[in-house]
Structure 1
Amino acid sequence: MHSKSLSATLALTSLTVGLGLTSTARADFIEDSKLSLGMRNFFFNADNHSGGADQKEWAQGFKLDYISGFTEGTVGFGVDLEGMLGLHLDGGKGMHPAINTFTPSKSDGSAESTWASAGATVKARFSKSEIRYGNTLTPNLPILVANDGRLQLQTFEGGMITSKEIDNLTLTGGQIESVKGRASTNSTGLSVSGATHGSNKFRFAGGDWKVNKALTLQYYYANLENFYSQNFLGLVHVLPITNDSSFKTDLRYFNSTSDGRNGEVGYAFNNNGGYAKNTGKVDNNTWSSMFTYSLGNQSLMLGRTQVSDNGGFVWNNDASVVNKYGRNEGEGGYSFYLFNDATVGSFARAGENTNFGQYSYNFASLGVSGLKASISYLRGDGIKAADGHGPDQHESEIDTRVDYVVQTGPLKGFGTTLRHGTYHAGNTGTADLDQTRLFFNYTYNFF
């Protein structure tokens, strides 16, 4: 596969470079290196209340990471290596769905018992700038967010540069060429929901400017060739009130327009199953605002997201749910930079106005350090019917989350996360769904 050949090439290149370094240069390259093994045990259960297929699966994942330091000199070089292994432990008869983002599927539709992949990224550092190229990239940007909601972490292939040459300003840019899904061993092109063709050119650039201690401004531009162009504006302000209380304002705006062949057969956007003024075309403005009051170990957040009427909010998706071998391998499953990206629903169709809130509590004040919990509610109204003529639709979801991380002793760092989402489809015609996710995470650091 392309991803495997790239991994082998980069690994061989990094080994050759490493062997050719002087002892002085190798010192920082090796002494600043880190080797760790991440282990995740994950149980997933989806209960469909509308007569559709349920899903119940259990798996164990391993992720070995080697992160080198940089060689000495004006330009320092390094390499990051990654190996991932997944083991399907149990799923229950008939509980592995045809369209799946948990484990890869065999040709008969059953789950693969094991799957593995490897990757590598070479990197260089100059002054306060870093450039990386490889297939282990995990961007966390307003216009592209790597998803970590299943057993394995979604990874991207391409190049990125990050510069902090100017005080209080972080600039980021690059080009992403393909993506490996969170339950896949193969790479695929980037696309949009509903399309069957992909693109190997997702170009982006932007920056975060910390105006002062309290205020950060953001701007990013992204273009997925033949699908869409997107502008993002963001503002984050934290107002201290007392020593243990604050008020945070988080404002986000996305403007997305059609690009190239978008709308043609294979390049059409399904607008998240909702209305489109121009069939298959990307045409959207989305505004979001969140306000959080924090007091001691608890916080209350209220917010609203508005999706414009012309079409749904757009974000990267895989090129096709079925790969070239004719079976699903879990390429799907993408995150986007809005609170609407809930446990079950996305709340991102044309005309949808979503009001939401979340209450969070840290139990450290009660003597249970490492234990946190939250509950949130989302309600989307004003969804335009797909045909543009029916009554407006609505949907809602309640999500709860509990996290606990062992703070001391031999199991220090061992973490457990329980997430549960109850989605009500309202009058949208989709399925009511309960979803439960249970994670056990532990990372062992060799050095």
Structure 2
Amino acid sequence: MRVMKWSMIALAVSAGTTQFAMASSQDDSKGFIEDSTLTSKTRMLYMNRDFRNGAGNIPKPGGGFKSGYREDWGLSELLNYTSGFTQGTIGVGVDAFAMGTLRLDGGAGRQGNGLFASKSDGSPEDTQSKAGGAVKFRLSDTVLKYGNQFVASPVFSTDDSRLLPEVATGTLITSHEIEGLELSAGRFTAMSSQTGMYHDSLHLPSADIAGATYQFTDNFVGGVAASDVDDYFKKQYINLNYTLPIDENQGLNFDFNGYRTSSQGQELAGNVDNKIWSLAAAYSIGAHKFTLAHQRSSGDSGYYYGVDGGGTIFLANSVQYSDFNGKDERSWQARYDLNLATYGVPGLSFMARYVKGDNISTDAGEGREHEFDFESKYVMQEGPAKDLSFRLRSAIYRTTSNYGVDTNDVRVIVEYPFNIL
């Protein structure tokens, strides 16, 4: 992996002086301050997980549970500053962020949804905050960034599914020197969880990553990526995405994703040996989209992720509650999306899907699971509250053979992004 990482860096940097870089982003730099942006994102999240059939949250001494559900409600604020680059052959800039949360509701007996960290007495924190930044350099169309950052690689991705995102610390280089081709490589040595305020709450030893994405045609994109997480595993990923336009109102899309993961070193995640892939086909016609997907896992274990980021699972059947990534699991999905803009209500959309998984290898025999999700979202289209969004997500999850816990999951998300500069 180290050989791959540094060879990609060398390729990206050397490309900046070749014929491919006729005009570059650095040539168009207006300056450190002139190209700066400052944004804020306010998020309110209510989350309730109701356990069924006698299951519950946080066991009590002597038996039973403190409650049969988890319920949290909080508010977060994320300020993001992105500078431009200084002018010249090599541009210099900085990125910085500050973020915090405020607990609106949720006690010690009901917490556990990942919105707040816990105090020493087990009760959730009332407020939390953290800040960070990174320095960046740009040569032609290649950017090198070092420090705290948000990452979205299929083999190393910071999760943003709760109040605050995870934050990775390390170095990432991204190159767009050749038209249609993106190369990336990096090394990360720390990962802060969504509720962990210090820089390495996930105890990441180190992770080397590399990836490439190429736009073959206007309708066909392919990508590969690989990671080496010290004393955990090595992981490889491939994606192929093809869109077939039928006419101005119709189209087909095919999306294939696949991972291979093998444990190494101290095997801190256990014996990980997994291959998993998914194939989704979506048919769009006007306001409607119909999707069918199949996902299949094989090997001596299920798919593992987490220390490499809670968002590192780019698979079709990774949905609201379950990822359908158990050992030997096979799963199918049917999904329907509706965009009401076509019917005169721009900003309003609905989604419903059903996912069923079986053939899961467990100590108790074959495990099975299924999940029904419903989601509605409305985004304000104009006025002083433009881009303010309201989102309702609901999941009904059921399982057999002691594979998991039957759960109803409800989330209400209100989000307001705002451009300050």
User: When the two structures are superposed, what TM-score results if normalisation uses the length of structure 2?
Assistant: 0.87
Does residue 354 (structure 1) correspond to residue 331 (structure 2)? The answer is yes
Structure 1 Cα separation of the partners of residues 404 and 244 of structure 2: 41
- Answer with 423-432 or 151-160: which moved more: 423-432
- What is the CA-CA distance between 1:335 and the residue it aligns to? 4.6
Match of 2:111 among 82, 88, 96: 96
Asked if 1:82 corresponds to 2:97, the answer is yes
Of 132, 135, 142, which aligns to 2:154?
A: 142
Mapped partners of 2:238, 2:30: distance in 1: 42
Instruction: Indicate the RMSD between aligned Cα atoms, in angstroms.
Output: 1.8
How far residue 230 of structure 1 moved from its aligned partner, in angstroms, is 1.1
What residue in structure 1 maps to residue 416 of structure 2? 442
Unaligned runs of 5+ in 1: 1-24, 191-197, 270-279, 319-331
Matched, 1:174 2:186: yes
Q: 3-state DSSP class of the match of 1:187?
A: coil
SS in 2 for 1:304: strand
The equivalent of 1:301 in structure 2 is 291
**For residues 112 and 335 of structure 1, what CA distance do their matches in structure 2 show?**
27
- Kept in 1, the 8 Å contact 2:158–2:310? The answer is no
Per-residue CA deviation, residues 338-390 of structure 1 (Å, 9 max, x unaligned), is 123221112111110011121101000111101111011111110012x3xx4
1:133 paired to 2:146: yes
Matches for 1:177-188 after TM superposition, within 5 Å: 177-188=189-200
Residues 40, 440 of structure 1: 8 Å contact kept: yes
After TM superposition, list the pairs within 5 Å mapping 1:183-332 onto structure 2.
183-188=195-200, 198-262=203-267, 267=268, 269=269, 280-317=270-307
For the 8 Å contact 1:357–1:377, the answer to whether it is kept is: yes
Match of 2:32 in 1: 29
Aligned equivalents of 2:341, 2:311: Cα separation in 1: 33
Q: CA deviation at 1:26?
A: 11
2:8 matched to which residue of 1? none
CA contact (8 A) 1:395 1:427 kept: no
Distance in 1 (CA, whole Å) between partners of 2:235 and 2:35 is 38
Distance in 1, matches of 2:388 and 2:343, equals 20
Which amino acid is the alignment partner of residue 264 of structure 2?
D
Taking the aligned partners of 1:143 and 1:358, their CA distance within structure 2 comes to 26
One-letter identity of the residue aligned with 1:373: F
What secondary structure does 2:99 align onto? strand
| Corresponding position: 1:52 with 2:56 | yes
* Distance (whole Å) between structure 1 residues aligned to residue 310 and residue 89 of structure 2: 40
Task: Give the drift of 1:429.
Answer: 4.2
What percent of counterpart residues are identical?
Answer: 31
> For each residue in 1:377-417, what CA deviation from the matched residue of structure 2 results, as whole angstroms up to 9, or x when unmatched?
111110012x3xx4311001111111111001111111111
C-alpha displacement of 1:309: 3.8
TM, length-normalised to structure 1: 0.82
- Say if 2:394 is the partner of 1:420: yes
What is the DSSP-based 3-state SS (H/G/I as helix, E as strand, rest coil) of the residue aligned with 2:33?
helix
Amino acid at match of 2:184: T
Which amino acid counterpart does residue 39 of structure 1 have in structure 2? T
Measured against aligned partners, the alpha-carbon deviations of 1:220-246 in whole angstroms (never above 9, x if no partner) come to 111101111111121110011111111
Aligned partner letter, 1:239: L
Distance 1:333 1:238 in 2: 28
Taking the aligned partners of 1:43 and 1:402, their CA distance within structure 2 comes to 15
Task: Provide the residue aligned with 1:65 in structure 2.
Answer: 80
* Secondary structure at 1:364 match in 2: helix
| Secondary structure of the structure 2 residue equivalent to 1:29 | coil
Conserved 8 A contact 1:177-1:189:
no
Q: Which shows bigger deviation, 427-436 or 245-254? A: 427-436
Q: Greater share of strand residues, 1 or 2? A: 2
**Secondary structure of the corresponding residue to residue 31 of structure 1:** coil
User: Aligned residue pairs: how many?
Assistant: 382
